[in-house]
Structure formats: C-alpha cells, structure tokens
Structure 1
Amino acid sequence: MSFFKTLFAALILGGSAAALAADTDTQFHLNELLSSDVTYQETWRDLVEDESRLPEWVMNLSGDARPMQGLEDDGDKYLVGQLCAVQNCFNQRLYTAFTWDKDTAYALYVQLPDGLPVGHVPSQHAILRWLGEPNEAVQTLLLEQLQKDPNWY
C-alpha cells in the first residue's frame, strides 16, 4: 500500500510541475512580456532604471527570445526566460526570473568577447553581471538556465 501512496504522490507532484510549466511555456516569450502586462513593465523598469551601461535590447527586452517557463524553487515560483541580442545570440545573453506575483525581477546578463577563438572555453571568458541583487537560490536558478545551453562549458 505504501508503494501506491508514493507513486500517487510522485504523479501529483510531477503533474503540478508540468502544469506550472505548461501554463507559461506556450504563452510568453520574454520579448513580448512587457507588452503583455503593465505590471511586468513596471517591475522591469524598476530593475533597470538604476543600472548603467546596459544595451538597448536589454533595457527594452527586445532581442530574440525562447518560450518562458514556470519554475519553482523551495516553494517560490518564478517565470523564467532567456533573451539574446539579435545577430549576436552566443555573445550577448540575458536570463531573467520574475516572481510569480510579478512584483520583483532578477536577471543575469552574460557577455562573451566577440571573435572568441574556437577551442576557448566560453565560461572562462564570460563576464557575468547580476541585475536586481538576486539571492543565492535565484542566482543558482539562473545559472542553471545558462548551463543548459549545449555550447556553454
């Protein structure tokens, strides 16, 4: 009987995570998020207004984007997305996490030097810049998104 309870609990938890992800995967892309909801606009503006020397595509979230996903970490839910500079996706990337209540945003801006020679390890030449003072858990969440890229090592 214990086996069935464990199996049932695993199916429910897995289903919840899948439902959370399914709610956002097909609905949002980071480059469309600001136009989808004024709350996201205000939250992003609050994050970047005091930052210096950010490119226009970061300020406006106007690069190329992949579908966003809902992720949970220790009970906290985030809408997580990736964006990159048009025509320079490998060298200029942004990973974001918005709290589920849309009240706070965090970001990881990743820059690689142009013309990085073949054979050089991207992770050893990258400049990582945190936006929004994310705590360690959010930093880990965003770094995991970066590390999922097969070209990142």
Structure 2
Amino acid sequence: MTCKPFHALALTVLMTSSALVVAANDGQARVNGLLSADPAYRQTWSEVVKKEERLPDWVINLSGSSEQMNAVTEDGDGYLVGPLCETQDTCINKRLIVAFSLDKKEAYGMLVEVPAGLPADKSPTRHADYRFLGKPDEGMQGLLREQLKKDPNWY
C-alpha cells in the first residue's frame, strides 16, 4: 500500500518538471528542437538535406544554438522561420536560417558562412557565402535574407 503515495509523489514531480520545461521554453518553437518535436519536421528536413553534399552535422541535425522562431507569410503561405548557429560564439561565422511551411511539408534553408577572423571593421554581408537548401524560389530566398537582416549584428 505504500506504493500509492510514492506514485502520487512521482506524478507530481513529473508534472512539475514538465511545467518548468514549458515555462523555460516559453512555449515557443526553436530550430534546434524541431526534429525531436515532431516526426513530420524530421521527415521534411531529411528530404532537404539528403540531396545536398558536404553539409556540417549541425545543419543536418539542426543542432546548435537557436532563438525562437516566428510565423511569417510568403506569397500567401505561412511559414515558421528562425535562426540556428553552430554555437553561440561562432554565430557571426556560421549560421543557418530555416523556414518550414506550417503544414510541415516544405522546408528551406540558407546557410551563411563568413570567414573566421574577419576584422570588425569589415562587413560580414560583403564577405559571406550564401548556400540555399531545398531549392527556394526568389520570394523564399528574399524571406530568408530578410530574416538574416533582422540580426542587429549583421550589417
């Protein structure tokens, strides 16, 4: 009979820790949590990256440092868009902007790489290499570029 109080205590601990995780995440989607959050995201992203060559693991796995994603509209369609960096410290040099359609059937990315050691007085915009993933049309490419421009450290 002592199992019931233990089960109640365990259930309380589980519920409290789950509430803390949701509170810490503010209920917002982040790129680095998408693939584990829903198999549909994982399936769609794997279709995008399987056609690409020589992508870093953090891009393939959408792992690294990220901020919350935002809902945006492009050509009448809704997308969840957000940034992902290899690490917080290397974000100016290696970042990915990702867009998933709200139905999770389409995904696009823009991998942005800036040479390491670029002097602070040099604009990263002028020295960056841009690689688009998922064959985005011109409108989607523009949306991904606009998301990058929202970073106050990008000039």
Contact 1:30–1:67 (CA under 8 A) maintained in structure 2? yes
Contact 1:26–1:67 (CA under 8 A) maintained in structure 2? no
TM-score, normalised relative to structure 2: 0.80
Question: Using the alignment, how far apart are the partners of 2:27 and 2:145 within structure 1?
Answer: 23
Q: CA deviation at 1:137?
A: 1.1
User: Structure 1: which 5+ runs fail to align?
Assistant: 1-24
Correspondence for 2:130: 128
Higher radius of gyration, 1 or 2: 2
Correspondence for 1:92: 94
Contact 1:91–1:111 (CA under 8 A) maintained in structure 2? yes
Correspondence for 2:69: 68
TM-score, normalised relative to structure 1: 0.81
Question: Using the alignment, how far apart are the partners of 1:46 and 1:144 within structure 2?
Answer: 24
User: Structure 2: which 5+ runs fail to align?
Assistant: 1-25
Runs of 4+ in 1 over 4 A off after TM superposition: none
Question: Using the alignment, how far apart are the partners of 1:74 and 1:45 within structure 2?
Answer: 24
- For this pair of structures, how many residues does the alignment match? 129
Question: Using the alignment, how far apart are the partners of 1:143 and 1:51 within structure 2?
Answer: 20
What's the RMSD between the two structures over aligned residues? 1.1
Secondary structure at the residue paired with 1:119? coil
State the identity as a percent: 51
